[in-house]
Amino acid sequence: MRIFKLPDLGEGLQEAEIVTWHVKAGDTVAIDQPLASVETAKAIVDVPSPYAGKIVKLYGNERDVAHVGQPLVAFDGGDDDSGTVVGKVEVGQKVMGDAPPAATPLAHGIKATPAVRALARKLNVDLAMVTPTGADGLVTSNDVQRAARILAEIGPQELLRGVRKVMAQSMTLAHAEVASATLMDDADIDAWSAGSKFMLRLMRALVAACRAEPSLNAWYDSQAVGRRLLKNVDVGIAVDTPDGLLVPVLRNVEQRSPEDLSTALTKLIQDTRDRKVPPEDLRANTITLSNFGPIGGRYASPIVVPPTVAIVGAGRVRKEVVAVNDKPAVHRMLPLSVTFDHRAVTGGEAGRFMAAMIADLQRPD
């Protein structure tokens, strides 16, 4: 019997969730025939068969998590030429290595007796989440039992997978590493024509700002304490999906026509929401754009994810009374937020970037 194991999916991804089996035990398949569709943190991809022959066994059900190197499909005949697996391999809803530890992590400074700590471990309660009621902030057994009852009522926690897991890891890295600062201002867009395409105007202004102040279109290397100013403007577009936040990339925005950008943007967003965007289009952006206004919110402090050093946020457009030639007038105003990594970008550079972007946005079409 030949065992086909989940292959290396690239991009450093070590696990995938089985979305759909395209075959079943007893089926005869040809080489390169799709065996299953699996969902990684990057995309949904088909896994082709490396052999032609009869399928004996499928390892795992739909929605199970499989790890690279674990058995995926068993074929009739031959030797296992995909490596040796010793012992029983379980592929299921419980992700190996992701389950919370049985022992409660003990935060520095928590006051509790050894007996109370033992009780917390037994009930799987994190003492850091418990409100102490004892003298001088001492956690009591009643505190732990009360916390255990509350946790039992709200049910088990949901382990994050796929896009949400990667998003959580990226945000943790960004929070730990980036020295972020945010500038906020408004662009008066009353000069726009009725047919102006919002995202195209934003990207045009973004390119203008990158030309005026290249420091924000860059990558920063925290180990070398150095930066790379980049010529291409490859814009990561923050896309809200039911699976979590994904950031596909529009390449060479500074060189493309409005018509080309419009078509490419529409396709990129649709492919992202359908989870069909290839992994290479989800990495190596030089700057990020988040248009959160249609969902809600005026200003924000969006997160800069290394190695990039800047992200632009566009908030909800509103009508506001402004002074025009010393007289009140009602104009459409677009709120902007620019968050930058202060390790690589100065406040002056960020200010010039914002000013250039506003200047372009306030021009007529």
User: What's residue 108's pLDDT?
Assistant: 52
Q: If you average pLDDT over residues 298-320, what whole number do you get?
A: 96
**pLDDT of 193 strictly over 60:** yes
**pLDDT of 34 strictly over 70:** yes
User: What's residue 230's pLDDT?
Assistant: 97
Under 8 Å CB-to-CB from 302, ≥6 apart: which residues?
Answer: 238, 288, 290, 292, 311, 312, 313, 337, 339
> Confidence band (pLDDT; 50, 70, 90) for 279?
confident
What is the residue-averaged pLDDT of the chain? 88
Number of Cβ within 10 Å of residue 322's Cβ equals: 15
Token digits for 195?
A: 């047919």
Q: What are phi and psi of 330, to 5 degrees?
A: -95, 115
Give me the half-sphere count of Cα atoms (radius 13 Å) on the Cβ side of residue 141.
Answer: 6
Domains, the chain, ranges and CATH? Answer: 2-75 (2.40.50.100), 111-154 (4.10.320.10), 163-361 (3.30.559.10)
Give the integer Cα–Cα distance in Å for 264 and 250: 8
Whole-structure pTM value: 0.71
Give the integer Cα–Cα distance in Å for 337 and 291: 10
pLDDT, tens digit (0-9, with 9 covering 90-100), for 60-115: 999 888 888 899 999 997 555 443 333 333 333 333 333 333 333 444 578 999 99
What b-and-e string marks burial along 225-235, b requiring 16 or more CB atoms within 10 Å of the CB? eebeebeebbb
pLDDT, tens digit (0-9, with 9 covering 90-100), for 121-137: 999 999 988 999 988 88
Element (H, E) at 149: helix 141-154
Q: What are phi and psi of 6, to 5 degrees?
A: -60, 120
